[in-house]
Amino acid sequence: MIANTGTWPKRNPSVSYRLRGWLSIAGTILLTSTCVADIIVDFDDTGNVIYAMCISMAVFHCTVKHVILHANKEKMFQILKFLKDPIFTSHGPLNIYIVKKMRFCSFVRRLLMLSTWGTASLIIISPLFDISSRMLSAPFPVDMQEKPVYLYLLVWFMQVFGTSLTAWIIPAYDGLIVYLMGIAAAQLQILREKILHSADDFRERNTFRDFDRLVNKKLRHCVIHHIAIERRQKQKNFYFKTPVTSPNFGRSVFFFIAVVIELTNFCIPGNEIILQSEKIRDACYMSEWTNCGPSVRRTLFIIMERSKRPLRLTAAKFVVLSLSSLLS
């Protein structure tokens, strides 16, 4: 979806791809600028100012996400490359956790798409209810009543383009991050299951030394897996270095629903990452460490120490993305 607008970072983009990207950016910036200009010109009209702020903040939201993604494109390339690493993919039957999480993330993304597209559709078709007054989809600093028809249509098409682009980009960018957060939560679930059942395959070993050696070898892989998850999670934080600048008020119910869904879109996976990372320490306690030797216990202790601080995603390193933050 992002590549269709030309705003997805590429190492060697073609000229046509760059032009498409610059056209998309210009459309969002132009719509934001006209809304801000309308706020300045018509500041006494409270209702119009609120509506203009809603539109401008939503469109500016896209621009911010685009800048963040391109400023950190190398980190994004590294994340996508590491996701193909066998340490994240070779889990056998445990991959079912990833499948389930991806299904849930897909459902949330579709819900966000419906809300943003529904809101954009209402904004776009609103002038059709009052054609005679030359009503526009979004606030504009110039009264189009006395202007030529072609100029009115030009402005209207500009607003339709900017609004449609915003409705297309927001769920695409947010869906990408939600998928990455979902993968992190699923990897933590897989790690927990591996720790819990680390000794299951070696119960029938005849000697204690063989049992201890094999279990410790399996747990070392769990340590490597845990470190890899933490590193990838820290890389994802670049997306949240600036606050989530979604509009928090709106003139229509659909606009409000879109905002709530977008915030929930981040907070639910963020809360899942916290819960799953906390369960890693519990998994060490619940494993059969009493039947193992010092080397296995030492490996389990290393994992427990790394799990004392749950993995968290924050907005601007200020607000933790969790259900408690959403409800408050």
Helix (H, G, I), strand (E, B) or coil at 319: strand
The arithmetic mean of pLDDT across residues 155-161, rounded, is 86
Q: pLDDT averaged over the chain? A: 75
Is the predicted pLDDT of residue 207 greater than 70, yes or no?
no
Q: What angle do CA 317, 97, 77 make, to 5 degrees?
A: 50
Residue 122 has pLDDT above 70, yes or no: yes
- State the pLDDT at residue 235: 58
For residue 244, is pLDDT > 60?
A: no
The tens digit of pLDDT for each residue in 258-279 reads 567 667 777 877 888 888 888 8
Window from 105-114, 249-258, 291-300 with minimum mean pLDDT: 249-258
Residue, of 297 and 261, whose pLDDT is higher = 297
| Mean pLDDT within 91-120 | 83
3-state class of 277 per DSSP? helix
pLDDT of residue 247: 34
Residue 242 has a pLDDT of 44
Among candidate residues 66, 36, 41, the one with its CA nearest the CA of residue 51: 36
Q: Kindly tell me if the per-residue pLDDT of 245 is higher than 50.
A: no
User: What residues pair up with 315 in beta bridges, in sequence order?
Assistant: 319
What does the pLDDT average to over 306-315? 75
pLDDT (tens digit, 9 = 90+) per residue, 180-201?
888 888 888 888 887 777 666 5
Cα separation of 6 and 19, whole Å? 8
At 41, list the tokens.
């010109």
Residues 299, 304, 306: CA angle, nearest 5 degrees: 100
The values of phi and psi at residue 8, to 5°, are -80, 130
> Using 50, 70 and 90 to split pLDDT, how confident is the model at 252?
very low
Range with the poorest average pLDDT among 37-41, 109-113, 247-251: 247-251
Structure tokens given for 325: 């933050």
The CA dihedral of 289, 291, 296, 297, to the nearest 10 degrees, is 50
Between residues 38 and 229, the one the model is more confident about: 38
The Cα–Cα gap between 227 and 224 comes to: 5
Quote the percentage of the chain above a pLDDT of 70. Answer: 79
Residue 111 pLDDT class (50, 70, 90 cuts): confident
- In the prediction, which pLDDT does 284 show? 79
- Structure confidence at residue 257 as a pLDDT band (50, 70, 90): low
CB 165 within 8 A of CB 26: no
- Say which range, 9-23, 58-72, 203-217, has the weakest mean pLDDT: 203-217
Which residue has better confidence, 139 or 245? 139
CA distances from 323 to 111, 265, 273, 320, 327 (A): 18, 11, 11, 9, 6
User: What is the pLDDT at residue 249?
Assistant: 36
Bigger pLDDT: 222 or 258?
Answer: 222
pLDDT recorded at residue 150: 82
pLDDT at residue 234, rounded to an integer: 64
